[in-house]
Structure 1
Amino acid sequence: MEINFLALFVAALSTLVIGFIWYSPKVFGTIWMKESGLTEEKMKGANMPVIFIMAVFFALLIAMILQFLTIHQWGAFGMIGGGGAADIKPSYAAFMNDYGTAYRTFKHGALHGFLAGLFLAFPMIATNALFERKSWKYTFINSGYWMLCFMIMGGIICVWQ
């Protein structure tokens, strides 16, 4: 199997699109700013190009691991040690012929993205929020964003072959 870097990059960029909508004042932006303790003045002093570049970089790191969580065929590839073409056994080739595109749907990737969000992103954000003394609104807004991002990213990565 080969890594589809274009799919990973598009999935990473999707987090910005989702963020623009999710954190807009008409959706959760106003509540998020209040719960975060941010003001319009504090928001204006930020170096937004650097923030967006770093956000895409971090989302790319997330996309790298999501491919292994959403595409089952990576498990079969890992079982053979991930070697080159000379190392591929006939059993692996037969498996890939039979199941190479099984479960490679947007819906399936979104399901695994949801599970990753629920069991990885939500507990991490909730733990930080507890120690930072943030509200449950803050926790649910931020974890909801990442759960949705993981779903969209997982769907993109899984379906794009």
Structure 2
Amino acid sequence: MEMNFYALLVAAFSTLVVGFIWYNPKVFGTIWMKESGMTEEKMKGSNMLLTFGVSFIYALLISFMLQIITIHQTGALGMVGGDASIAKPSYAAFMADYGMAFRTFQHGALHGFLAGLFLALPLIGTNALYERRSFKYTLVTGGFWIVCFMIMGGIICAWK
């Protein structure tokens, strides 16, 4: 089982697409700006190319971990040291039986949802507590990452 870099790149890019929609003023953008203390003036003074570029790199790092979380066969490969050519015959039998099992968008989205709910949301919530941000901020930002993890997990898991 090889790493699908195209799936990881598309999954990472999907976070930018979701962000353009999610943080639009007609969706959650106005709430987020108010709750985060962001203003139009602050946004105009930033290097958006740098912001989007670094955001993409961070999302790419997330996609590497989501591949491990969403594709169960990655765990089987990890148990043989990552090199299928030196694995025992039981690994080949396992892959013959279960090689593409649970490789659907829905399955990846489920695991993405769970990762977002139990990893991303608590991280954002903890930071928000120490930064004295509101619960609305936590919901908007945490919700964004839960949706992103779902879409990313679905793409990564389904793209064979």
**Same fold judged by TM-score > 0.5?**
yes
Q: What is the number of residues matched between the two proteins?
A: 160
Tell me the CA shift for residue 83 of structure 1: 1.9
2:17 is equivalent to residue 17 of structure 1: yes
Alpha-carbon distance in 2 for matches of 1:77, 1:38: 45
Alpha-carbon distance in 1 for matches of 2:60, 2:88: 31
TM alignment of 1:128-143, pairs within 5 A:
128-143=127-142
1:12-37 deviations in Å (ceiling 9; x for gaps): 00000000000000000011000000
- Give the aligned CA root-mean-square deviation in angstroms: 0.7
1:104-160 deviations in Å (ceiling 9; x for gaps): 000000000000001100000000000000000000000000000000000000000
Change in CA separation of 1:99 and 1:84 when aligned onto 2, cut-off 3 Å: closer
Residue 94 of structure 2: aligned partner: 95
The runs of at least 4 aligned residues of structure 1 exceeding 6 Å deviation read none
Return the letter of the residue paired with 1:38. M
Residue 126 of structure 1: aligned partner: 125
Contact 2:77 2:84 in 1 (8 A): no
SS in 1 for 2:34: helix
Return the letter of the residue paired with 2:104. T
Alpha-carbon distance in 1 for matches of 2:80, 2:39: 53
Alpha-carbon distance in 2 for matches of 1:134, 1:46: 22
Residue 149 of structure 1: aligned partner: 148
- For structure 2, the residue ranges without an aligned partner over 5 or more in a row are none
Query: Percent identity over the alignment?
Result: 69
